[in-house]
Amino acid sequence: MKRMFYYMERDFRRWIRGRVNVVSTLILPAAWLIFVGLALPIRFTDNYLDFIAPGILVLTMLGASLQGGGLLMFDKILGYLPKFLAMPAPRESILFGKILFITLRGLIQTTVILVIAILLGAHFLDPVLLLAIYTVLFVFGLLLSSLMTTVALKLEDHDSYSAINAMVSMPLFFTSSALMPYEEMPGWLAALARLNPVSYAIDAIRDLQAGVFPAVTLLGLLVGAVLILLVSVAVFRRATV
């Protein structure tokens, strides 16, 4: 178990020395927050920023996870992964290390977005609320980073990974409850949005904002995360290169 921290430490060192991508992943969510959150003329609420901020937090985590899956793809292409797989350390510690790194990095990035949102006037300052939001985002990150890391393990090259990435990211975001409440959506979109795991995470945060404990959505996310983790561990144990 200790070994997943060594794998995570390696990725953190590499990330911090990368410099450019430390900032680049923050641009898109910050742009959403400012150009959409502040500018869009919306009738269903008078504080659209408060409404859209949970969606942007989850979007940040989504982007971090999708981009994070690519890390394993690079480990594979560049020849690190075969070495790791030939080592006696349990292979799932490679997976857990990646999940931890991607999720923690995602939380660091969401923190920056959270600070920007608060500076812009969103209401998030309650410490208990913040802690609960981080928990939701952590579970969501677990689910998606585990999924994407395993997808990367199974895919042949980086081109196919970026293709999957592009195919998944925007549709997941737009078919979620990020931009408008279910009541404002056309029926077909609402049906899609209620199935989307991204909506689960967003709805959980909105419930928390409203002072409700989101038992059902959080449980749904947890069950999903555990299922995907189990499958991922099995796939990693049998990995060949």
Partner 1 sequence: MDLAIDREIFGLLGPNGSGKTTTVKMLTTLLAPTEGDATICGYSVTKNPLAVREQISYVPQDMAVDPKLTGRENVVFFAKVYGVPHPREAADEALAMLDLAPRADDLVRTYSGGMRRRLELAQALVHDPEVLFLDEPTIGLDVAGRRRIWEHIIALKNRGMTVFVTTHYMDEADRACDRVGIIDRGRVVATDTPAALKATVCRDIISIQTDGTFPGELPEGVTPLGRTGDELRFEADKGEEAGLALSGALTKAGMTVRSISVRQPTLDDVFLALVGEPEEAEGFDARRFRRMLRRRG
User: Per rule CB under 8 A, is residue 241 in the interface with partner 1?
Assistant: yes
Q: HSE (CB half, 13 Å, CA atoms) of 17?
A: 6
CA distance 113 to 61: 10
2-10, 20-28, 58-66, 146-154 -> range binding partner 1 (CB under 8 A): 2-10
User: Per rule CB under 8 A, is residue 85 in the interface with partner 1?
Assistant: yes
Task: Look at residues 72, 76, 77, 133 and name the one whose alpha carbon lies nearest to residue 106.
Answer: 133
User: Per rule CB under 8 A, is residue 234 in the interface with partner 1?
Assistant: no
User: Per rule CB under 8 A, is residue 17 in the interface with partner 1?
Assistant: yes
Residue from 21, 38, 44, 82 binding partner 1 (CB under 8 A) = 82
Residue from 3, 25, 34, 184 binding partner 1 (CB under 8 A) = 3
CA distance 121 to 49: 8
User: Per rule CB under 8 A, is residue 236 in the interface with partner 1?
Assistant: no
CB of 26 to partner 1, least distance (A): 20
User: Per rule CB under 8 A, is residue 1 in the interface with partner 1?
Assistant: no
User: Per rule CB under 8 A, is residue 157 in the interface with partner 1?
Assistant: yes
Q: What are the DSSP calls for 96-126, one per residue?
A: HHHHHHHHHHHHHHHHHHHHHHHHHT-----
User: Per rule CB under 8 A, is residue 121 in the interface with partner 1?
Assistant: no
Q: HSE (CB half, 13 Å, CA atoms) of 211?
A: 0
Query: Look-up: residue for tokens 């910050």?
Result: 30
Residues of this chain that interact with partner 1 (CB under 8 A) are 3, 6-7, 9-10, 13-14, 17-18, 77-80, 82-89, 93, 156-157, 240-241
